[in-house]
Structure formats: structure tokens, C-alpha cells
Structure 1
Amino acid sequence: MKVTIVVPSLRKTGVTEVIKQLLIRNHEEKNPIDFSLIVLRDDFKANSTIFRSLVSEIHILTGHNLITFDKISEFKKIILKISPQVIHFHGFNAELYIPFVKKNNIIVTAHNMGIGDFKYSYGYFIGLIMSIIQKQNYKYVNKIVGVSKAVTNYYKKLGFKNVKTIENGVEIPKRIIVNKKMLNLKKPVGIYVGNIDARKNTSMLLDVFSKEKDFGTLVVVGDNPKSVKKFNLIKNKYKRRNIIFVGRVSNVYPFLCGANYFISASKNEGLPMAAIEAMGVGLDLILSDIPQHRELKQNENNRIYFFKNDENGLRELLVKYVEKFPCSYGKLKNKESFLKRFTASVMFEKYLKLYYQFN
């Protein structure tokens, strides 16, 4: 069975990581799906090596501009040549191409909640226009896959009935060597992984840590992909002994394994891949109280703690956590839940079943 995945870019993000894990698992299962990949921008070509080894063919459209007449023409020709049974779109920028192949079987994986996410990156007005375009494009889609129940419910409330939930999954490496930067830090060591921007609410997180001396160390892994200048300003403002910036990394696990807990103050998510990866290595989670974070907690044994999303709420929870550390620190409870629910194998089996509905 032929499935073509369409993605905006090969930049390392939660979206591309989900796609990579899906392809790796398919390869390990001796390729029940014949995957091909279309990448709409030719930046981050260095990341293409792993993807080339996992698909029957990969097409990277030339040019940094997302959509042009030439790209639309080339995209349609590629789809005609491959003749896939399913075209699987990931991300809003990829979804812009849906109208040009709307007579095909189309699946989209919705990694966000429309205006709720768009407004943080693009402002309310542009975000609203994007959400209107997205809703229109989804009318041509056979199946919308929400990466969390919150995302699924959002699109159901918009009137779509062809929506189901498939949670993101990852495979944790078997052998991980802790990065040297994580050694000899004042404990407990917290780690934040992701973009440094308004949606992720990182300024509030950094404000709390910068004002406290007894919270151990916070390691920040990530950057601001839209503005190097803004990232450098934030890094210079908050860089001090208890906050360490390491930038964007190709492999986050050597950093996660050197931490005691993962922390996120995010205002909105699809399903937080970084938090799932942290669960996979057994870290405690300290999270803002939003529905997508709440979904990660299956039972009271999970070491997942929620705070009211303001400075006082975060400070109060961190005080309680630090006071009880290391007695409060547990390595297995979250990993057990991860293995039952968030592995790449679990995700792959659900997508496989969905693809076969179009066979």
C-alpha cells in the first residue's frame, strides 16, 4: 500500500520527530506500508539522510518559499507519478496543498488547535485567517487525526465528524550517555525542551527561576526559530548560574537523562512530544494545568504535577517539590505509563489500521 507523507520542512521539530518514528517503526516491521515523502522547502537538507533510508522515494521541492505556482505544479506531478492510495499531511503549511489534490484519499494529522496556537506565533488577526483557511481545507479531508483528545474535541466542536485520536509516540534509545554539560549541576536539575516563545510561556518560567536561588538548576534546550535576535536577548537576560542555555540539539536524550524532572509552562499544545520523551526516560513532570498536559496523567501513581499557570502557582509547586527532593523523586512510575501508551509501536499500529481502511 502506498502512502505519501507531506511535510513543510525537515527541521527537527515535534512534527518531524513523529513522522520519523512512524517511518522507523514501519521499516522495522519490514515495510507493510510503501511510504514516500514530499518536503515543501529545501532548508535543513542535512536532516534528510535518515528519511532517505526509510522511504521508497523522497522529493524536496526547491526554494525556501513555501508555496509558488512552480511548486504547486511540481507537487501535482509528483503525486500523479507516485499515485498513492493515501496522502498524509502534517502541519498547517503542508495542508495548504490539500486543495490541489482534493480528489485523492487524504488524512491530516492535526498537531494543534487552530487559532489557539496560531495567535501566539502570528498574532490574532493572521491567526484567525489561518484557522479559517484550515477549516476550509479540512472539508476535503477523509480523516482528521487529533494527536490528543483535546485536539480531537476542538475539531469536533467545529462540526467535523471524521475525527479520531492517535497519540504521538516515540522510541527511547536503549543506550544513552549523559551529556557532560549535565554533570555536577546543583540538584534538583529541571529541564525545559522546546521553542522559547510566547505560546510556550518561557518568559514566565525563566522569571521564576531567575528570582530564586534554592530551586537547583534549570537547563533550557531549544531556541526561537523565528528570531535569533530575540533568543539571544532572552539568553543574555536570564543567563546565570542556575539557568543554563544549550540551544537546539539534534539528540535531546543525553540532556534528559541528566535531569531530575521536566518542566513546561506552556499555554497551549497539541500533545507535548518533549514531555512524552521525558516520561520515556522516567523523569518527573512539572506542567502547566492545561487539558493537553492533563491527558498525560493516567493515574495517581504518575509523578506528574500541575500548577496554576502564573508565577505564584509555579513558585509554590517548585517550593514543595524541592523541599521533598530527593525523597519525592521517582524513576519508574512515568516510564511504566509511557510504555503502555506512548511508544512508537503503539502509534504505528493505530496508523497502520487507519491506512488499511483505504486499501
Structure 2
Amino acid sequence: MKHPKIHITYLVSTLGRSGPTRQLFYLIRNLDSSRFRATIITLSPEPHDSLRPEFSRLEVDLECLTATRTNNPFFIYKRLNALLCSIQPDILHSQGFRADVFGLLLSSALLQISSQRNDPFEEYPPLYGAILGRVIAFTHAWCLRHITCVVTCSHSLTQKNTKYGIRSDFVRNGISQSLAITRDVTSLPKEALTFFHLFDRHPVFLYSGPLVSRKQPQMLLRAFLEPDLQHLGLVVLGDGPLLSECRAITNDAPNIFFAGAVDNVDQYLYKSACYVSASLSEGLPNSVLEAFRAGLPAILSDIPAHRELEGLAPRAVHIFRIDNASDLGSAISSFTRLSNIGEVTARAIQDHFNSEKMSAHYQEIYVQMMGQSIEFKMGQERG
């Protein structure tokens, strides 16, 4: 007897280009289509830098509420409720603050699972301000405490959740090794190629991510402006509210190149020698996994997520003391690339950060949730 497919509806704010969206892409791309059916609902219109075209090539139905963040929440609630009643999924899988809130409000007749990819109390106050940020953090934490199943992206984040009273399991972020690194760098902008050419005999380091206070890009920039490090290059990929401040700090220093937000990160990684991050908080950074896939080691700040990466790939990660500019400078100046670093990072991905395994773990959770639901309903009938 052929069993019906389990219908998963994924609820997210948008499919804007980001680490969490990329992880969702890997999860759905590796779903067993003989057992699962997928639908994605986005709450808001897509930003200009969206991964929606990539999702449209997968076996997934795409729905958008086209609600803006200023829309009345009750309006969003009604439209989302009507759409879910029409779709009738078996499981609602939410990701992100807004999705978790609306998902919890609407999941009384559904099984809900949430993918938690950040620490609300470390992420939101720097982003939204001390008062509003803490209100959002407390609200999100309350929601996570009441969602049926919460799965974080790292063991370190699950450990953090205990102090917030959030029960959670973890499935580590993964990355696809089947996506070949684009080694043809001729499509890089002329300015980028010129910059890399200037450092043919010296390492070029790379940071990729938003320019926000949590990431501490200013600390990285000041390190490379020190006299004993100015012979080394730094490429900064990303945009954000601190871009103007970052440019002012560097004052057009010849060893620092701002490439902006790009969709060909792999090509920049291929031309670089090492990834570097001074972040204050992470779930499990997708940018480091991308660096591993390109065969790059990483110099990372001493935070739980980075320590977890070091524990799983000790030969590929060097940790420096957080908020310690001197220790960061020492780590950069003493950098030596292992001759077999590509093999080291490839093994780390295969063993610990494989996107196919990540998706398989989620699929096991879906099946378990459905089984528990059936047992619960049978128990009600017997009662």
C-alpha cells in the first residue's frame, strides 16, 4: 500500500539571500520527493537580492502573502490562516521571528517545528536597539518555548537555550559539496582582479557577511591598518548600516577592498587564502562553511559557535580572544596555510556539515512528528 506524502509547509519572512535561506534551500533540495511534498509561504515581497529563482527550480510550491512589515498583523493573520486552510499541510515548519509568531498563532490544528538559527538576546538588541530589541527577543523566546518542536542549527545554540527555558534539539547547518567551486575568476570585476594581483606574493584574507555591529567589521579593518599587517590584503563582501563608517575607517587604504554584496562568493573565496570573522554571536555561520568548501581555513573569534567549529575541524580553525585586537593581529600575522587544507576542510564537511545529512535528519524528525501525532489521535479515540 502506497502511503500519502507528508506535506510540509515552510513559513518564512522572505527568501532574501542569507545563511538561513541558503540552509532552507539545501533542506528542500534534498527532500525525498517520494515521501514529502513541500510548499513555501513567504510573508513579504522579495527583496532585490532574493534566492526565489533558485527555489523555483526545485520541486516546491511557492506562495507569497505580499504583506509589508507595516501591515496590520490581524490582516496578515487572516490571509495566512485562509491560505493554510486551503493548503492543509501536515506540518508547519517556520523559520525566523515573524514566521515563528504567526506559526504559533495558527498551529493549533497543525504540528509545528521551528528552525532556530540565532540567539534572540544576542541578535536583536544590536539590530533594533536596546529596548525594542529586548522586547522582540523576549517575545521570540516565549514563542520558542511554546512551539511543539524547536531545532537549532548547532549544539552550542541548544546549550544556550537551556538558560532561556527553551527545550530544543539540534541539527547542524550543512553545505553542499556537489556544487563545484567556480574557479573561473575572469568574471570578477576588474577592480577585484587588480586588487588580488597586488597581493600575488602575500595572503589575502576575506570576510563575508552583513556590516552590522554584531559582526564587528570595524575590528577587522583596524587590524589590517596596523603597520605590520598592511602588506596583507582584506576583501570585505557584504553591505549594511556600518558600510559608511567602515569606509571612513579605512580611508581608501590600498590593502582593503570593499566588494559589496555579491552573488559569486565562491570566486572571491577561491582567490583568497583565509577566512576571518570577529563576530560576537552566531548560530553556526554559513559563511565559514562556504570557506571550508573552497578549501580555506578560518580565523575566528572566541564564541561558542566558533568553538564548536574548532572542535569539529581543529586543523582548519584558529580561535582568537574575543574583543582582543592584539590577539587578532597575532593570529593574522602568524597565519600559515597547511598544504593539505583542502582535504582537511572537505573531510570536515563530509563528516559534520553535509547538507544531505542535514536534510535527512530533518526528514527523520518529520516522520517522528507524524508518528507521534497518529499515536496521540489514536489514544484520543480509544479514550
TM-score under structure 1 length normalisation: 0.91
> Is residue 221–residue 249 contact of structure 2 (8 Å, CA) maintained in 1?
no
Deviation at 1:30, TM superposition (A): 3.6
Q: 1:105 to 1:326 in 2, by over 3 A?
A: closer
Larger Rg: 2
Give SS of 1:244's match: strand
Deviations 1:180-227 (A, max 9, x none): 435424121111010111100111111111223445111111110xx3
> Deviations along 1:278-327, whole A, 9 cap, x unmatched?
11221011000111001112467522101112211101111211xxx456
Match 1:145 to one of 151, 163, 186: 151
Alignment of 1:190 with 2:205, yes or no, is yes
Alignment of 1:318 with 2:339, yes or no, is no
**Which whole-Å CA distance do the structure 2 matches of 1:301 and 1:160 have between them?**
29
Say which of 26, 39, 47 aligns to 1:36: 39
Aligned to 1:118: 124
User: What residue is the counterpart of 1:293 in the other structure?
Assistant: 306
Structure 2 distance, partners of 1:78, 1:215, is 57
Secondary structure of the residue aligned to 1:218 is: strand
Higher helix share: 2
Match for residue 210 of structure 1? 225
1:235 correspondence with 2:238: no
Asked if residue 350 in structure 1 is aligned to residue 361 in structure 2, the reply is: yes
The reply on whether 1:51 has 2:59 as its aligned counterpart is no
User: Whole-Å Cα distance in 2 between the matches of residues 159 and 330 of structure 1?
Assistant: 40
Q: CA RMSD in A?
A: 2.0
SS of match in other structure, 2:46: coil
Cα shift readout 1:226-246 (whole Å, capped 9, x = no counterpart): x3xx42342354232111111
Gaps of 5+ in 2: 1-5, 371-383
Counterpart amino acid of residue 352 in structure 1 = Q
Whichever residue aligns with residue 364 of structure 2, its letter is: K
- C-alpha contact 1:102 1:140 (8 A) present in aligned 2: no
Looking at structure 2, the residues matched to 218 and 265 of structure 1 have their Cα atoms a distance apart, in angstroms, of 13
1: CA distance between counterparts of 2:318 and 2:112? 38
Separation of aligned partners in 2, 1:231 and 1:300 = 32
SS in 1 for 2:215: coil
Instruction: Extract structure 1 runs of 4+ deviating beyond 6 A.
Output: none
Question: 1:259/1:32 Cα in 2 relative to 1: closer, same or farther (>3 Å)?
Answer: farther
Tell me the secondary structure at the aligned position of residue 96 of structure 1: helix
Contact 2:175 2:349 in 1 (8 A): no
State the distance in 2 between where 1:169 and 1:67 align.
34
Q: Could you tell me how far 1:169 is from its partner in structure 2?
A: 0.8
CA contact (8 A) 2:117 2:283 kept: yes
The aligned residue for residue 136 of structure 2 is: 130
Identity, in percent, stands at 24
Residue 93 of structure 1: how far off its partner (Å): 2.4
Call closer, same or farther: CA 1:66–1:174 in 2, change over 3 Å.
farther
**The one of 220, 239, 253 aligned to 1:223:** 239
Report the CA distance between 1:112 and its aligned residue: 0.8
Contact residue 284 and residue 329 of structure 1 kept, 8 A:
no
Map of 1:283 onto structure 2: 296
Work out whether residues 178 and 257 of structure 1, in 8 Å CA contact, stay in contact via their aligned partners in 2: no
The residue that corresponds to 1:332 in the other structure is 343
In 1, distance between residues paired with 2:341 and 2:284?
Answer: 23
How far residue 178 of structure 1 moved from its aligned partner, in angstroms, is 4.4
- Aligned to 1:332, the other structure's residue is in SS state helix
Residue 77 of structure 1: aligned partner: 82
In structure 2, relative to structure 1, the CA distance for the partners of 1:328 and 1:305 (3 Å cut) is: farther
AA partner of residue 177 (structure 1): R
**Alpha-carbon offset, residue 101 of structure 1:** 0.9
Task: Give the 3 Å change call, closer, same or farther, for CA 140–330 of structure 1 in structure 2.
Answer: closer
CA distance in 1, matches of 2:198, 2:56: 39
Letter of the structure 1 residue corresponding to residue 147 of structure 2: V
Aligned length in residues: 349
Distance 1:215 1:274 in 2: 25
Residues 106, 142 of structure 1: 8 Å contact kept: yes
Asked if 2 retains the 8 angstrom alpha-carbon contact of 1:169 and 1:345, the reply is yes
Q: Cα 1:319–1:66, aligned 2, differ >3 Å: closer, same or farther?
A: same
Q: Residue 140 of structure 1: CA displacement?
A: 3.1
The match for 1:92 among 84, 92, 97 is: 97
Q: Which one of 23, 43, 68 corresponds to residue 64 of structure 1?
A: 68
**CA gap 1:116/1:35 in 2 versus in 1, 3 angstroms:** same
Q: TM-score, normalised by structure 2?
A: 0.85
Q: Given residue 130 of structure 1, which amino acid in structure 2 is its aligned partner?
A: I
One-letter identity of the residue aligned with 1:122: Y
Cα distance in 2, alignment partners of residues 82 and 88 from structure 1: 14
User: C-alpha separation between the residues in 2 aligned to 1:16 and 1:242?
Assistant: 32
**Which shows bigger deviation, 247-256 or 200-209?**
247-256
* Cα pair 1:41 1:66 within 8 Å, conserved: no
Amino acid at match of 1:296: L
Q: Structure 2: how far apart are the matches of 1:301 and 1:267?
A: 20
Conservation of the 8 A alpha-carbon contact between 2:151 and 2:170:
yes
1:3 match: 8
Distance 1:67 1:344, change over 3 A: farther
Q: 1:144 to 1:300 in 2, by over 3 A?
A: closer
CA distance in structure 1 between the partners assigned to 2:198 and 2:265 by the alignment: 17
| Alignment check: 8 A CA contact 2:313 2:345 kept | no
